[in-house]
Structures are given as C-alpha cells and as structure tokens.
A and B are shown apart, each in its own frame.
Chain A
Amino acid sequence: MSDAGSSEDRLYTLIAELTYLCPLRCVYCSNPTNLSAHPDRLETEDWLRVFRQAAELGALQLNLSGGEPLLRKDLEALVEGAHALDFYTNLITSGTPLTRERLARLRDLGLSSVQVSIQDASAAESDRIAGRASFAQKLEVARWVKELGLPLTVNMVLHRQNLGRVAELIALAENLGADRIELANTQYLAWALENRAALLPSRAQLDEAREIARAARERLKGKTELLFVLPDYYSDRPKACMSGWGKRYLLVTPDGLALPCHLAHTISGLTFESVQTRSLSEIWQHSSAFDAFRGEAWMPEPCASCERRALDFGGCRCQAFHLTGNAAATDPACSLSPNHDSIVAAREAAQTEGLVQLGLRYREFK
C-alpha cells in the first residue's frame, strides 16, 4: 500500500474554481490580483462536462472552490452531478452566505466533506484579516457541518499577525470538532505577495508555533489530523508545488481556463486553453503549457543535476516567475537558487519584534 500517486502520474484531483467572487477580502487570497479579467463564464452544463471529462482522466477528488463557491446558485446541481460520478467532493468555503437548510441539501445530494476557513481565534482579528464581519457565521457553519454528520476541515492560514495564537487556533478547531486541522502558512504569491512585509513571520515566531503544532499533532493522533505547512521562505528547499506541474492536479478557472495550479495563468508567455474549446483530455495530454514544465528537460542548473529534483520538481513555477521574471528558473525559495538573496532579504526584514505597522491591501474585484 502506498499513498496515491507516489508511483505514477495521472490526474487525481480536479479543482473547480467556480467563481472568483467572494464576500470576503482576505489579505492573502490565493486568487490572482486581476480578478475581473476572469469573470464567471461557465454554465452548469459546462461544469458538469468538465467533471465527466476529469473523471474519465482518472480524477477521484473534486474540490469545489473559488472565490466563494456558495455564490453559485447551481451548486446543488454541481454537487449532484459530482456524486453521480462517484467523486469525493470537498466544498472549500468561507462559510458565507449559507443557511443550515442549504448545507443539509448539499449533504443529501452527495457532498463528501466541508472545509471552512477561519482567519484568527477572535472575531475582531478574524474579521480584520477577512475584511468583513464573518467570524460568527463561520463558527455557526462549522457547527452545522458537524451536526449534519459531514467531515469538517478547519483551515487556518498562518502569518506573523496570528502565529502567536496558534495554540488558541488549534483549541478553537478542536472545540468545533474538526476532523482535520490545516494550519497552512501563507504562500507569498498574488495578494499575499502584495502584503508580504506585513505577513511574513520571524523565525522565532515560526519555531514556537511549529513546536506547539507538533505537540498538538501527537496529542490528537488517531482523532484529528493536524497539518502544519511551513512557509517555503524558511525551509531552504522548495516545496513540491502541486506534487509537480501537470502531474496529479488540474484546475479550471471561473472563465474556463484549464491550469496545472491556482496561479499558472499569471505567468506570461504560456498559453492556457479553455475547456470551452478543447476537451480536458486533449488539454491534459497535448497542450504546450501543460508540457512546459513536465519532466526534467526544462530544468536549469542547479536543479538539472540536483539529487532532489524528483522530490521537489524545482519548486513552484509561479514563485519563480513572480520573483525572478523567469518561470523556468529554480524556485528562489531554494537556498541553491542564484536568486535566493531575494528570499533572504525578505526574511531578514521580518526578524524585527512585534507587528509591522503597515497598511494591508485588501482583495478587491477589479
């Protein structure tokens, strides 16, 4: 037995970003910053066709995400269609807007699990990061998820303004009965890159939080899965982004672009195709953009001869592009990258004590 996909490349997970619209304005949103360039263009039948084609390619997991997927009036039809294809369907949501009745309906139609994001341990702080009063509703939704017998993942994005409260964050998720707690440090791309100086933690903060998470993971073993994702700015080696470009994940944007990851369409020079004009299988197997960073032929040194190249695949292509201007460069998060100095400089600036008093740029739809 092995974790799925460790031995082979094939599509496992379809991420359906149903809309980029969202009532929240989180300062680290992973959607692109030019949101209005990607309006909702897919109808219900388009999404259902995409689901069918993904299932034919072998996808078993479906993440209904966004933006806020609850803003889609046809979410019920999409969940029902996904269930007919036997997907494990995760709803990835801010929890707003939602009623208990709608959640019960989604469960009855075959929803497998719900992931609710919570921004901090108190209403004031959570609402400040989300840019909207939403904390109370999130707790309510998390309780409904459990009452309705659905598995609950609580997702908390970590940064220097909440890392000091990681114990409280874990306690909150535990009290809500979370089956899975995701403590994911911010990935510094898109909106988070704009706000990096205000969000990047110090090493001391991170070490302390990691130790608390480690102890909690041990304590919760067998009961609640606890995941602590280190920020790659502090890991010295890049993360295996998406388990490799075009290997196991395929993402479709609200306007119908098929991508290997959440931000691939922000890389200039690559042409991504629409699910309106080609089948998913043609795009997956034959599009030049999906092929661009598959395998090892594209790799520069030091990746090309690195013994870790089959483990991290050279890191994140979007991070390489946004920090160096070259998507084919070694991810600067790697200490072996010739561009690693930009990461070191950002890290050094983050070692000061206390909060950096900087204005946050909130996500906006423009």
Chain B
Amino acid sequence: MTSSAASLDLSLRPKLAPKTKLRLDPKTGKYILLYPEKGLLLNPTGAAILKLCTGEHTLAAIIEALALEFESKPEVLGGEVCAFVQGLLDRGLIQAEP
C-alpha cells in the first residue's frame, strides 16, 4: 500500500464503487462484496462498514455508528475501519468523495 490508513481524511464520504454488489451469501450467512469475476467475503465488522458506505455518511460518522453498534469506542475502532476502507479504496471497490 502506498498511502497509509492514518492519512485518511475523516470527512470523506466513502461509497461503494458502481461495479460492486453487496449481498448476503446464504451458504455462509455472511455478507459478500461481489465484483467482476471475484468476491470478498466479509466478517460482521466489514459488512457493517460497507452497508454505511453509501456516499451519505462521513468516515467519522461511520466510525461513530460502528462504535455504537459494536459497543466500542471510536478511538478503538477508528484504525481498523480506516485500514479496511483504505484497502478497498486501493482496490477500486470504494470511491471517496470529499
């Protein structure tokens, strides 16, 4: 990775790329992010993050919402969420608008 997750701007509004499709995988009961030829099977945190990547919410708001949902604190979850979002930005699966 060229850019570090720490440099992510928390005012960005991440949005799933048009080529992706987020759906439940009945076989595993987990969410999966589908895109041409591939799929990314998600753990509960990953799925919760991507459901909020609609382009409406800032990254800061997403972290806060997740902290509520998973009974944690934004300071604790922030790093993990940013690293996850950065990874998907690098792969073109998420787009971020200011």
From A193-201, A202-210, A216-224, A321-329, give the one contacting chain B: A216-224
A153 touches B90 (CB 8 A): no
In the bound complex, CA of A113 to CA of B20 (Å): 9
> When each residue 208-232 of chain A gets 1 if its CB lies under 8 Å from chain B and 0 otherwise, what string results?
0000000000000111110000000
How far, in Å, is B42 (CB) from chain A's closest CB?
6
Find the A residue at minimum CB distance from B84. Answer: A1
Min Cβ gap B50→A in Å is 10
Do A90 and B36 touch (CB < 8 A)?
yes
How many residues on chain A are close to B (CB under 8 Å)? 28
Alpha-carbon distance A115/B41, docked complex (angstroms):
23
Residue from B2, B21, B32, B42 having most chain A Cβ neighbours under 10 A? B21
Across the A-B interface, how many residue pairs have beta carbons closer than 8 Å? 72
Chain B residues near A345 (CB-CB < 8 A): none
Does more than half of chain A's interface fall in helix, strand or loop, or is it mixed? loop
Classify chain B: how many residues form its interface, as a range.
20 to 34
**Contacting residues of chain A (30-79) with chain B, CB-CB under 8 angstroms:** 58, 60-61
Q: How far is the CA of A149 from the CA of B19 in the complex (A)?
A: 9
Cβ 8 A contact of A60, one of B32, B84, B91, B92 = B32
**Could you tell me which residues of chain B, from 33 to 83, have a CB within 8 Å of some CB in chain A?**
34-43, 46
* Complex Cα gap A293–B36 (Å): 27
Contacts of B40 in A (CB 8 A): 1-4
* Most-contacted residue by chain B among A13, A88, A179 (CB, 10 A): A88
Q: Counting chain B CB atoms within 10 Å of each CB, which of A4, A86, A115, A153 scores highest?
A: A4
Q: Which of B23, B27, B43, B91 has the most CB of A within 10 A?
A: B27
- Chain A positions within 8 Å of B89 at CB level: 222
> In whole angstroms, what is the CA distance A215 to B89 when docked?
19
Chain B residues, Cβ within 8 Å of A224: 92
The docked-state distance in angstroms from the alpha carbon of A4 to that of B40 is 5
A2 contact set on B, CB distance < 8 A: 40-41
Q: Does B26 contact A (CB under 8 A)?
A: yes
A60 x B90 contact (CB < 8 A) = no
- CB of A174 to closest CB in B, whole Å: 13
Residues of B within 8 A of A1 (CB): 40-43, 46, 84
CB neighbours (8 Å) of B18 from chain A are: 149, 151
Contacts of A86 in B (CB 8 A): 23
Given contacts A1-B40, A3-B40, A222-B92, are A60 and B19 in contact (CB under 8 A)?
no
Residue in contact with A112 in the complex, picked from B2, B21, B25, CB distance below 8 Å: B21
In the complex, chain B residues whose CB is within 8 Å of the CB of A272: none
Q: Are B91 and A222 interface neighbours, CB within 8 A?
A: yes
* Distance in Å: Cβ of B49 to nearest Cβ of chain A: 10
Interface membership of A10, Cβ < 8 A = yes
By a beta-carbon cutoff of 8 Å, the part of chain B in contact with chain A is 2, 17-19, 21, 23, 25-28, 32, 34-43, 46, 84, 89-92
New contact pairs (4) apart from A61-B37, A222-B89, CB-CB < 8 Å: A1-B46, A4-B38, A60-B23, A151-B36
Nearest 7 interchain pairs by C-beta? A151-B19, A4-B39, A88-B34, A58-B27, A4-B41, A113-B36, A1-B46
Question: What are 25 pairs between A and B in contact, CB < 8 Å?
Answer: A2-B41, A3-B38, A3-B40, A5-B41, A8-B28, A12-B39, A13-B37, A60-B23, A61-B39, A86-B23, A88-B21, A88-B34, A88-B39, A90-B37, A112-B21, A149-B18, A151-B18, A151-B35, A151-B36, A153-B37, A179-B19, A180-B36, A221-B2, A222-B90, A225-B92
